[in-house]
Chain A
Amino acid sequence: MILGIPDPQILIGYGLAVGLALACIVYGLLNWNKGGNSDGS
């Protein structure tokens, strides 16, 4: 039992929720200056 949770489906859910929030941060940082009007996009 990891983190007091016996069901892997719940653990994966928590892992994905936190992981996706981190992915949003990483995406925002990596693309911080991309997509400006001067880029033509």
Chain B
Amino acid sequence: MAVNSLTMTALVLLYLAATLVIGYIGYKKTKNSEDYLVAGRDSHPVIIALSYGATFISTSAIIGFGGAAANMGMGLIWLTVLNIGLGILLAFVLFGKKTREIGQRLSAVTFPDLMCKIYKSPLLQYIAGFIIVISMPLYTAAILIGGARFIEPTLGIPYTSSLILFALITAVYVVFGGLIAVMYTDAFQGTIMLIGMTVLLALTLMIVGGFSAGAAALTNMADLVPKALADQGMTGWTTMPVLGSPIWFTLVTTLVMGVGIGVLAQPQLVVRFMTAKDNKSLNRAVLVGGPFILMMTGVAFTVGALSNVYFFQTSGQIAIDAAGGNVDAIMPLFINGAMPDIFVVIFMLTLLAAAMSTLSALYHAMGTALVCDLWGRGKACALSMRAHQYGIVLMMVVSTALAFLLPISIIARATAMFMGLCACAFLPAFAVGVYSKAPSTRAALWSMVTGAAIWFVWTAFFHAAEAKPLGLCQALFGKVALLGSPWNAVDPIVVALPVSLVVMIVLQCQYGKEQPAVPATA
């Protein structure tokens, strides 16, 4: 890296110091368990929007998916469409307001707690809490590994120490300051991300001569698509893959639908709605949230795709070849090669901020699920701040240990896997729960269990991208996936979510009126 390492170290330390100071302010404002769990239900709209957005966007969204756009082209912009349309507009307007109203009325403090109180079913709380405690450490470990891999070369700290340091520094302000500290630091980190991505877009457009000229140059490179990708349906970087081809299925079902829909029922994001004082706060948060997400994923996907033009003009290679076949290396290589030194520092801080903001939210969601929804459910300690602090520390240790154990090949899949599972298990029950006047507990239970079970079976035995690194299908049946193309490229969400939805609707129609639960409107 061309940047002076002393400058880089100084700026990273300054950033960490600022994060800890902001976390300390959050800690001082935390007086009771409601502050610790739902930020006192009085968060500022801008803080809600930036916290939601920064939690939503992790390093993998910028590096991993930016690299995917460099490899597969601008079709990934459809994920941005879903990110804003579903992840912000639909999430805040349709689900956010209802969640806030019901959460406040029922004094719910976590996502499983909300489900339990809506459906009057402790079993639902246990199941939702169990799914979170089992699956979220996987996603958390991926974020930890991504952060440690960034810290190692940037600050020259060995990988093991980087991972432990990253885990501990983030845990400090989450453990002591709870959700107020998490959301304050998220807002700070979200602002850094916004600055970083804005500068990245401006500099990239300058390098390729503007959007139209860059896209036209990219269009003219269509004949450079590698034969292996062309055989699977890729037609260029400014055109969609051939309909129904393996690349099309991966782009549309895994990347666009899997991640785009998955965001709707993520427990750590749903809790953000419960931190709003009133619906006015959520209305105002929409104004910030939409443009924020456009500047995150929209910029990452555009810059990723256009990086091919830069690499071709400077080295005669397309991005994936210049990066030695490593998709995750494309964005860092582009930044290091094409950007001024000072921006390399800004971008590194952007990545660190993206990783920490997501990590802190996951720590909080896992720790509170463990204490409030599983171990302490129904006991006095369910609302004890001290118990939650222990819970967060325990889940931090579990996630860190998992980060050391996980094979690298599973890491890139972790984001899509977690989001897919959340959608399949939680989305139908969550949607009916906040809208129906007589939500059926039986429908919610079966929908949640069916969605999670089918998601797992399809992930482990049918979807090659996950079945291969998991190795379960290979061990039991002697092959990577049970079905061939195109089924082995179809994401689990495409199969499990419709089944979960049908189960929810059919059982809701049958049993919904028999057991009036908590009315959805005040």
A: residues with CB less than 8 A from B are 1, 3-7, 9-10, 13-14, 16-18, 20-25, 27-29, 31-37, 39, 41
- B275-311 interface (Cβ within 8 A of A): 277-291, 293-294, 298
- With the chains together, A24 CA to B288 CA distance in Å? 8
Given contacts A7-B239, A14-B74, A34-B279, 5 further A-B contacts (CB under 8 A): A9-B75, A10-B77, A10-B238, A20-B88, A36-B280
Query: Which of B75, B89, B218, B298 is close to A4, meaning CB atoms less than 8 Å apart?
Result: B218
Cβ contacts under 8 Å, B214 to chain A = 4
Most buried by B among A10, A14, A18, A23: A10
Q: Are B277 and A27 in contact (CB under 8 A)?
A: no
Q: A24-B291, A27-B89, A35-B278 are in contact. Are A5 and B283 (CB under 8 A)?
A: no
Task: Indicate whether B131 reaches chain A with its CB closer than 8 angstroms.
Answer: no
**Is B238 in contact with A5, judged by CB distance below 8 angstroms?**
yes
B211 x A24 contact (CB < 8 A): no
> Which residues in chain B, 77-99, are within 8 Å of chain A measured between CB atoms?
77-78, 80-81, 84-85, 88-89, 93, 97
User: Inside 8 A of B97's CB, which chain A residues have their CB?
Assistant: 35
* Nearest 8 interchain pairs by C-beta: A28-B287, A24-B290, A35-B279, A4-B215, A4-B216, A31-B283, A7-B239, A21-B294
Most buried by A among B81, B89, B219, B289: B81
Minimum distance in angstroms from A15 CB to a CB of chain B: 9
Given contacts A10-B238, A17-B80, contact A24 B88 (CB under 8 A): yes
Does chain A have a CB within 8 A of B230?
Answer: no
**Interface status of B199 (Cβ within 8 A of chain A):** no
The listed residue (B240, B279, B283, B290) touching A10 by CB distance below 8 A is B240
* In the assembled complex, B315 has its CB within 8 A of some CB on chain A: no
Instruction: Please determine whether A4 and B212 come into contact, CB atoms closer than 8 angstroms.
Output: yes
Q: How far is the CA of A10 from the CA of B442 in the complex (A)?
A: 43
A29 to B138, CA, bound (A): 39
A27 cross-chain contacts in B, Cβ below 8 A:
89, 93, 283, 286-287
- Are A21 and B282 neighbours in the complex by a CB distance under 8 Å? no
The answer to whether B286 and A24 have CB atoms under 8 Å apart is yes
Q: How far is the CB of A1 from chain B (nearest CB, A)?
A: 7
Contact A13 B74 (CB under 8 A): yes
- Cβ distance B279 to chain A, nearest Cβ, rounded Å: 3
B240 touches A24 (CB 8 A): no
B contact residues around A25 at 8 Å (CB) = 287, 290-291
**CA–CA, A10 to B288, complex, Å?**
25
Q: Which residue of B lies closest to A10 (CB)?
A: B74
Taking the complex as formed, is B396 at the interface, i.e. its CB lies under 8 A from any CB of chain A?
Answer: no
Contacts of B213 in A (CB 8 A): 4
A4/B219 contact (C-beta < 8 A), A20-B81, A20-B290 known: yes
- Min Cβ gap A20→B in Å is 4
Out of B211, B240, B278, B281, name the residue touching A7 (CB < 8 Å).
B240
Nearest residue, chain A, Cβ from B77: A13
B217 interface hit (Cβ, 8 Å): yes
Residues of the A chain whose Cβ atoms lie less than 8 Å from the Cβ of B212: 3-4
Contacting pair B77 A6 (CB below 8 A)? no
Contact B284 A5 (CB under 8 A): no
Complex contacts, B290 vs chain A, CB 8 Å = 20-25, 28
| Per-residue contact bits, chain B 242-283, to A (CB 8 Å; 1 contact, 0 not) | 000000000000000000000000000000000001111111
Q: What's the minimum C-beta distance from A14 to chain B, rounded to whole angstroms?
A: 6
Q: Which residues of A contact B218 (CB under 8 A)?
A: 4
CA of A5 to CA of B279, assembled, Å:
40
Of B216, B218, B278, B283, most buried by chain A (CB within 10 Å of CB) is: B283
CB distance from B40 to the nearest CB of A (A): 15
Residues of chain B within 8 A (CB-CB) of A10 are: 74-75, 77, 238-240
When A10-B75, A21-B290, A23-B89 are in contact, do A35 and B81 touch as well, CB less than 8 Å? no
